[in-house]
Amino acid sequence: MAAKLRYVTKVNEGYKFQGVGGLVVRLIHPDVNGSDKLGMGVVYVNPGEELPPHKHFNEEGYFIISGEGFMIVDGTEIKLEKNMAVYMPAGSTHYTKNTGNEPLVFVCALSPAPTAK
């Protein structure tokens, strides 16, 4: 069941869970603030951690806040650095790894919002 419509969610109020390779904090999601089609959160990947190759039916975008690493989207390697965005089409296989000495932190947006908690 969707949450009541809420316009503002702070990081400490979001839904936190350990994702496939890092800590995820959902900030915009039907279960957090009643959004209809959009999911957005912040992901924290510690040095050496990775998000294994996966794909899903959602379009996805990352905006890198801090840290460094690389990702592979459908066979194309991309160096991740602060203040860049990466787009992953629906159905694309993607993999992410933190290669730096500090957490890789990025905003992750998905449309439609993921259904799994």
pTM: 0.92
Q: Are 64 and 81 in contact (CB under 8 A)?
A: yes
30-44 tens-digit pLDDT: 989 999 899 999 999
Domains annotated for the chain, with CATH where assigned, are: 11-111 (2.60.120.10)
Q: Are 41 and 27 in contact (CB under 8 A)?
A: yes
Q: Are 51 and 106 in contact (CB under 8 A)?
A: no
User: Is the pLDDT assigned to residue 10 strictly greater than 80?
Assistant: yes
Confidence bin at 116 (pLDDT 50/70/90): low
